[in-house]
Amino acid sequence: MKRFRIFLTWVLLVLAAGAELAAAAPNIRTAWAYGRAYSNLYDMTRRFGLQLRVGKGRYDVTGNGSRMVLYPDKRYMFLNGVRVNQCFSPVMKGGATYVSRTDYTKTFTPLLGSKRAYKHPVGTIFLDCGHGGKDQGAAGKFSKEKNITLRLGRRLAAILRSCGYKVVMSRNSDVFLSLERRAALQASTRSDLFISLHVNSAGDRSVSGIETYCMTPAGAPSSNSTKADARTYNGNRYDSNNIILAWNLQHSMLSRTKAADRGVKRARFQVLRDIRCPGALVEIGFISNAAEERNLGSAAYIEKLARGLAEGILNYHRSLSK
């Protein structure tokens, strides 16, 4: 009987604490626009214990070691200096600013809120060295994407193994693998993270910089599109972890290389759609840009990229453990 009373007291205390927290957490007002739900920005910042300051043509959100800058009618924002593409632009309703409910749950909550809900074991990491064999990928004046990604993958694998991780590589030589095969290999190894390595190219040879992609949430347009897609893929099971991973990879690569920031973006690439763990695809530079092609051919620069990617993975892992 005494044990039962102790247990009952404990249950009542837990329920009371939960009710107190619920009462303290502000309600987030909802508005509708363009056929979708939007969440009040001020309420959202209060929910996360942050401060919102409205300036001329921008919103500054600060607190808990983070600084976020948003802009009216812009799909991009900055989190601690790193550009992040939102699914939809903020809107004004009744004199207040609202962000899409999709962004509230799939972008802001993972990046600004508690990471406790997204914690998962990270023991095995799958490195996908893009292209290979008959598929050379993008080509520059003196180099090929398939060779750069393999070189980077080998160095990154060595660093991650020295940190205690098990590493599986989609390829460790110049062989061709289909996109379906790469995703199937990840699933068969039951790896905990998936990183796909690629090199960019553009018709405008002045374009440069690093960008990191993660899976587009269902019902949202990819970053390079305005057309929403309601289909759900296997990779959408990890939407929140995907954005946390992508931000950490982008932040760490930029810190190491000082390259131009082309942002964290969303895309429905096949290797991101079909994997069965959190994942991201990184575009480490533009082979079409003369200066970046020289960098990508340099062992010192590859080392910076490998170190940056490894730090991003470690920071992702540590952030979920806090």
Residues of the chain above pLDDT 70, percent: 92
pLDDT at 73: 87
Q: What is the C-alpha to C-alpha distance for residues 197 and 154, in angstroms, rounded to an integer?
A: 11
List the single range of 18-27, 139-148, 274-283 with lowest mean pLDDT.
18-27
In the numeric block, the tokens 């900055």 are attached to: 78
Q: What is the C-alpha to C-alpha distance for residues 134 and 195, in angstroms, rounded to an integer?
A: 22
Q: What is the CA radius of gyration of the chain?
A: 21
* Mean pLDDT, rounded, of the chain: 92
Is the confidence at residue 2, as pLDDT, over 70?
no
Pairing status of strand 193-200 against strand 124-129: parallel
Q: Give start and end residues of each alpha helix (H) in the chain.
A: 2-24, 41-47, 101-103, 109-112, 145-162, 179-189, 239-257, 270-274, 290-296, 299-321
What is the reported pTM? Answer: 0.91
